[in-house]
Amino acid sequence: MTHSDIVRSLIAAWERRSVDDFLALMTPDVRYLNVGMPEMVGHDQIRAAIGPFLAGASQVRWTVHHIAETSAGAVLTERTDVFQMGPKTVTLEVMGVFEFEGDKISAWRDYFDVPAFQKQMA
């Protein structure tokens, strides 16, 4: 399985809204940063932040427009992430970077318009 395949598995887990499944693809000390928001380190912090968010979503769809793997094994994604949050549809244009230790994601950074996200969530 390539690192790109692992990222695709992570995306599928998000679309199933399965925190356990996507955490299983990450190192225990993974660093997850939505740039412009506080960084989460480790499974417990990620579960505490993402679990309630995903519980509030009735549907999650990520469309990957481009995916590339560097010679060092990092995976870059250009995506549109859509979350159905009750009556609201939250749409984010995202650039993501995934770094690996072996076959586990050790760092994940997503770049998107945080104020636009916050406005959609309000």
Q: Which of 5, 21, 81, 113 is catalytic?
A: 81
103 flagged as catalytic: no
CB-side exposure of 104: number of CA atoms within 13 Å?
Answer: 14
Q: Which of 5, 21, 110, 113 is catalytic?
A: 110
Question: Residue 78 has which token pair?
Answer: 């250009």
21 flagged as catalytic: no
Alpha-carbon distance of 9 to 116, in angstroms, equals 27
DSSP labels for 2-15? -HHHHHHHHHHHHH
- Catalytic annotation, residues: 81, 110
